[in-house]
Amino acid sequence: MDQQTKKKKLIYKGLSLLLVAAILITIMVLPVRNYLPHLWGGPVYPEYARFTIERKIEITTNREINYNVTVPSPHDIEEQGIQKINSVEWNIEPDFINMYGIEWKTWRGSLEDQTKEILINYHVETRSIKWDYSQDISGSVDDFEESIVSRYEGNQWLLEEDRNDDGNYDWMIEPENPVIKNLAEDITRDEETVYGKARAIYDWMVKNIDYERGGPGLPQHSVWTLDRRAGDCDEWSYLYISLARAIGIPAWVELGVLYDRMGDYWGGHGWVRLQFVDEDGNHDWVNIDLVNRQFFARDATRITTWIDDGVEGHLSEYYYYVRYNYTGLPRPSVSISEDYTNVEMETEGEVYIGDELGIPWIPGKYFIIALVISSIYKYAKIHNRLENDR
């Protein structure tokens, strides 16, 4: 190989190293790093977020109807500053009612061959959190207080329909189903603590249940999700809750809106609240978001709008937030849509709260920094060789 060819190869190699360094620096500086969990060492979320989202509820009809729109008012979650509702605005003044111990907003009226648009703006501050609980300090299911167990222990939300053709009405949450109960006991057989059992169910579901984006209408029930080995966020949550309750762990659903950072949009979401108890009998609730791989963690890019209270009939009210009636025939054609818009968002800080660690022995950020330094050092050596060969 002649001297000129060697120089060209060195130049190409040097430029390649510079390109690699530039790409790695870009990954560190731009938000793209948030979407490379296996390289970065876990999903990166803002530690704090301040945002405004607009919720649009739209009702369209081709003939006269009387409508009723009723939605819960999000409230502060004061524990560790998880959620603060600064203010809520709307384009149509609502009525305020107290239902199930919390405030709800309701809009009532009549429509005839037209569209009604209700806009609600939420101004919110949130914080990411990872609960610092482990197997070492966890209590057992026998340490739970009876009051919390009795509140979240049995079947919930009777659907009064047989979706899977087994001859029985379906329950959305069904820990008393023999298939669910046997599976839960099998999954957690080797675990003695609440933490261990909760983690075992989580690991089994992440491994065995596929995620499918949900469609319109109500979610499917937990046995359906188990049979298909697939479901959306609500369906994953109801199956997890069923499995947890089946072995004595109080669990319930938390519903709200989640920000998709890649698509820059908000959408409805459901996740799990679970009761934890330590070896000294101290109780605390924690969050589990199976779809987003957050175990005993919660990111700041979400807002909670409803927390299930465990009372039969209450949970369904969240889903049936628009109701209407009419008189005479023909039956009206009514369409109901809901959409969320990201009006503004400010974030502060970074935390790693995902459950997938690509490089567990070294934080991904420092790994990338090392690669950048190595690439620049090698480029400098090549540049010196070229200078010396002149």
Tens-digit pLDDT profile for residues 283-297: 999 999 999 999 999
Q: Does the pLDDT of residue 298 top 70, yes or no?
A: yes
pLDDT the model gives residue 12 = 64
Q: Give the mean pLDDT of 145-161.
A: 93
The answer to whether the CB of 272 falls within 8 A of the CB of 290 is yes
pLDDT higher than 60, residue 125: yes
Tokens of 115: 């569209």
For residues 6-34, give the mean pLDDT.
Answer: 64
DSSP state of 278: B
The more confidently predicted of residues 380 and 356 is 380
Distances in whole angstroms, Cα of residue 67 to Cα of each of 56, 115, 320, 328, 342: 16, 12, 12, 16, 27
Question: Which one is predicted more confidently, 14 or 164?
Answer: 164
What are the tens digits of pLDDT across the range 110-120? 999 899 999 99
Q: What is the mean pLDDT of the chain?
A: 88
Place 26 in a pLDDT band, splitting at 50, 70 and 90: low
Is pLDDT at 360 greater than 50 in this prediction? no
Question: For 251-270, how does the pLDDT look when each residue is reduced to its tens digit (9 = 90+)?
Answer: 999 999 999 887 888 999 99
- Considering the entire predicted model, what is its pTM? 0.83
Average pLDDT rounded to a whole number, residues 4-9:
64
Which conformational region is residue 74 in: left (phi greater than 0), alpha (psi within -120 to 50 degrees), or beta?
beta
Predicted pLDDT at 359: 38
Structure-block tokens of residue 237? 């949550």
Quick one: what percent of the chain has pLDDT higher than 70?
82
At 186, list the tokens: 């099998």
Span 294-309, mean pLDDT?
96
More confident residue, 165 or 229: 229
Residue 353 reports pLDDT greater than 60: yes
pLDDT above 60 (res 100): yes
Task: For residue range 314-352, list pLDDT tens digits in order.
Answer: 999 899 999 999 999 999 999 999 999 999 999 999 988
Confidence grade of residue 40 (pLDDT, cut at 50, 70, 90): very low
Say which DSSP state 50 is in.
E
- On the question of pLDDT at 313 being above 80, the answer is yes
Cα torsion for 214, 217, 218, 223, to the nearest 10°? -60
The confidence score (pLDDT) of residue 217 equals 77
Instruction: Name all contacts of 313-316 with Cβ < 8 Å and 24+ positions apart.
Output: 313/157, 314/100, 315/156, 315/157, 315/172, 315/253, 316/157
Alpha-carbon torsion 38, 40, 44, 47, what sign? Answer: positive
Q: Is the pLDDT of residue 19 over 90?
A: no
Residue 250 confidence (pLDDT) above 80: yes
Pairing between β-strand 65-72 and β-strand 322-325 as defined by DSSP bridges: antiparallel
